[in-house]
Amino acid sequence: MSILIKNAYIATMDKDGTSEIPNGFLLIEDNLISQIGDNSNGAADKIAADKGIGKVIDAEGAILMPGLSNTHTHLGMTLLRGYADDMALKDWLEKQIWPAEANLTAEDVYWGSLLGCLEMIRSGTTAFCDMYFFMDETAKAVEKAGIRGCLSYGMIEFGDAEKGTKELAVNEKLVSDWQGKANGRITTMFGPHAPNTCSQAFIARAKEAAEKAGVGVHIHVLETEAELNYMKENFDMCSVHHLDAVDFWNTSKVPVLAAHCVWMSDGDIKLFAEKGVTVSHNPISNMKLASGIAPIQKMLDAGVIVALGTDGCASNNNLSLFEEMKTAALLQKVGTMDPTALPAKAVVEMATVSGAQVIDKQTGVLKTGGKADMILVDVNKANAAPIFDVYSHLVYAAAGSDVKTMIVDGKILMEDYNVLVMDEEEVMKKAKECAYSLAERAKQKE
């Protein structure tokens, strides 16, 4: 189907082309953007008539921009939203989250993931990178929801080589079953959990498997000072150098996605810039677990690719990248005591083009020939009057709930606030049932 969007304020996020078109149009044919341009001379109506386009969206009063990419989630964890708050990472995982997760079923992860997809659609996220369990269920949810998911299985090996072999086999199956499915909307990665929960040898095996399969790797790294101290005590070096010793950060064959990166030294930053590692910055989770402030401005100055992530819903506690964008900007400013740190446009780039790079290089900017993944942000709202600068509005004033329409891979998933791809009431009901029953089972085992 062809779709024509007209009268939009377009923020293309394309560094090589026109960045803003105040009264623009965009034509989608199949799953690709076939034309994008100025509509002040009424070009759109002519195209609609000439081509006999059935679906025309009048985007007067809306910003048209690429969809947002959430580069670090644990989507099934949406069921654990608010399950355990106000704790440090180690205690939170060991005393609350892992015992609860030990009771997870495939059905739980399906409904948790679908709820997560719904929340992402409602807040402008068209693509995400996930690391969790029962990933077939998350894949089915992505298939249904119509967004893009780059899925990895969270492998925790704890230095047990036999367990490592089993974990790798599960991730390998995910890759062989799902890579490229749903017209390429589903992609996969390998997900060794972290340098303090997996051995160096195992993480090296995961990287090898990823290179063999031609897919990326997704890992947590230097999230807390406790991790840094643990690595120094046990290996006499930080996590980054510990994994560099097995060439883990080499991106010449496959992408490497590193979540958190809070406790990075200047040397680590230089190495990531040279290697081309993508950092997923998760400021809200880092603040909530009091993990620290990642040196993002320093990373950007050094040329590191930095994207944004929410982390799981148990440490955020939502999936809104609009909140994440604002928090990222504010945290960097107060962390460096420099109000010019992480300006608005740089944050929008993190949430769009930088994140998309690691998921699908044909997304993240609006340009001819690119895949049709985009959102309309409603600016016919009190919090959007006036707008002097579109990036300032998106980062400092807008909310996820201002997203009114979403198109992914040329298909409309939400139009004028109506989600077209799932029964919202049913998803919320089923997810709540699963969540309360999971909590009950976890409590009984205590």
Ligand X SMILES: C[C@H]1O[C@@H](n2cnc3c(N)ncnc32)[C@H](O)[C@@H]1O
> Contact positions toward ligand X, by CB under 6 A?
74, 77, 89, 93, 97, 101, 131-132, 154, 193-194, 220, 223, 285, 311-312, 315
Helix or strand (DSSP H, E) at 45 = helix 43-51
Cα–Cα distance, 86 to 178 (Å, whole number): 36
Instruction: Show Cβ contacts of residue 36 under 8 Å, excluding neighbours closer than 6 positions.
Output: 10, 12, 21, 24, 25, 26, 27, 366, 367, 368
For 65, residues 6+ apart whose C-beta sits below 8 A from its C-beta are 10, 11, 12, 13, 348, 352, 366, 374, 375, 377, 394
Task: Report, in Å, the least distance between residue 193 CB and Zn ion.
Answer: 9
| By CB under 5 A, residue 311 contacts Zn ion | yes
Cβ 91 to Zn ion, closest distance in Å?
16
Residue 132 binds which entry of Zn ion, ligand X, none, CB below 5-8 Å type-dependent = ligand X
Least distance in angstroms from the C-beta of 101 to ligand X: 5
Question: What does 378 bind: ligand X, Zn ion, none (CB cut-off 5 to 8 Å by kind)?
Answer: none
Extract long-range pairs of 338-347: CB within 8 Å, 24+ residues apart: 338/297, 341/297, 342/296, 342/297, 342/300, 343/391, 344/389, 344/391, 344/392, 344/394, 344/395, 344/396, 345/391, 346/300, 347/308, 347/391, 347/395
Identify what 64 binds: Zn ion, ligand X, none; CB under 5 to 8 Å per kind. Answer: none
Binding partner of residue 188 among ligand X, Zn ion, none, CB cut-off 5 to 8 Å per kind? none
Are the C-beta atoms of residues 363 and 149 closer than 8 Å to each other? no
Cis ω for the linkage preceding 386 (within 30 of 0): yes
Task: Say which residues have a Cβ less than 8 Å from residue 372's Cβ, sequence separation at least 6.
Answer: 3, 28, 31, 32, 33, 407, 408, 409, 410
Give whichever of 314 and 394 is closer to ligand X, judged by the CB atom. 314
The least distance separating ligand X from the CB of residue 136, rounded to whole angstroms, comes to 15
Q: How many CA atoms lie within 13 A of 409 on its CB side?
A: 15
Name which of Zn ion, ligand X, none residue 393 binds, using a CB cut-off of 5 to 8 Å depending on partner kind. Answer: none
Nearer to Zn ion, 116 or 146 (CB): 116
CB nearer Zn ion, residue 39 or residue 315: 315
Smallest distance from ligand X to CB 46, Å: 51
* Residue number, 193 or 393, with CB nearest to ligand X: 193
Task: Tell me the closest approach of the beta carbon of residue 56 to Zn ion, in angstroms.
Answer: 41
Give the strand order in the sheet containing 278-281.
68-73, 125-132, 148-155, 186-192, 216-221, 256-260, 278-281, 305-308
Residue 326 binds what, of ligand X, Zn ion, none (CB under 5 to 8 Å, by partner type)?
none
Q: Which two tokens stand for residue 171?
A: 């991730």
- Spatial separation of the C-alpha atoms in residues 188 and 413, rounded to whole Å: 22
Nearer to Zn ion, 39 or 316 (CB): 316
Q: How far apart are CA 429 and CA 173, in angstroms?
A: 31
Q: Does 223 bind Zn ion (CB under 5 A)?
A: no
Closer CB to ligand X, residue 39 or residue 196?
196
Q: Tell the smallest beta-carbon distance from residue 258 to ligand X (Å).
A: 12
Q: What is the rounded end-to-end Cα distance, in angstroms, of the chain?
A: 54
Amino acid at 225: E
Output the residue with the shortest Cβ distance to Zn ion. Answer: 311
Query: 242: annotated binding-site residue?
Result: no
Task: State in angstroms the smallest separation of the CB of 42 from ligand X.
Answer: 51
Residue 225 contacts residue 200 (beta carbons within 8 Å): no
Interaction of residue 101 with Zn ion, rule CB under 5 A: no
Q: Any binding-site annotation on 74?
A: yes
Dist. CA 271–CA 435, nearest whole Å: 41
Q: Are 321 and 124 in contact (CB under 8 A)?
A: yes
Angle between helices 200-213 and 161-178 (to 10 degrees): 20
Q: What is the torsion angle, in degrees rounded to the nearest 10, for the CA atoms of residue 424, residue 427, residue 430 and residue 433?
A: -80
- To the question of whether residue 193 is assigned a binding role by annotation, the answer is yes
3-state secondary structure of 291: coil
- Pick from ligand X, Zn ion, none: which does 284 bind, CB < 5 to 8 A by kind? none
Nearest residue to ligand X, by Cβ distance, number only: 154
Output the smallest distance, CB 164 to ligand X, in A: 15
How many residues sit in the footprint of Zn ion (CB under 5 A)? 1
- Which partner from the list ligand X, Zn ion, none does 255 bind, CB cut-off 5 to 8 Å by kind? none
**186-192 and 216-221 as β-strands: parallel, antiparallel, unpaired?**
parallel
Cβ-based nearer residue to ligand X, 1 or 106? 106
Q: Which is nearer to Zn ion, 311 or 373 (CB)?
A: 311
Residue 193 contacts which entry, Zn ion, ligand X, none (Cβ below 5-8 A, type-dependent): ligand X
* Between 67 and 309, CB nearer to Zn ion: 309
Annotated binding site for substrate: which residue ranges? 101, 193, 223, 311
Annotated binding site: which residue ranges? 72, 74, 101, 193, 220, 223, 311
List contacts with Zn ion (CB under 5 A): 311
Annotated binding site for Zn(2+): which residue ranges? 72, 74, 220, 311
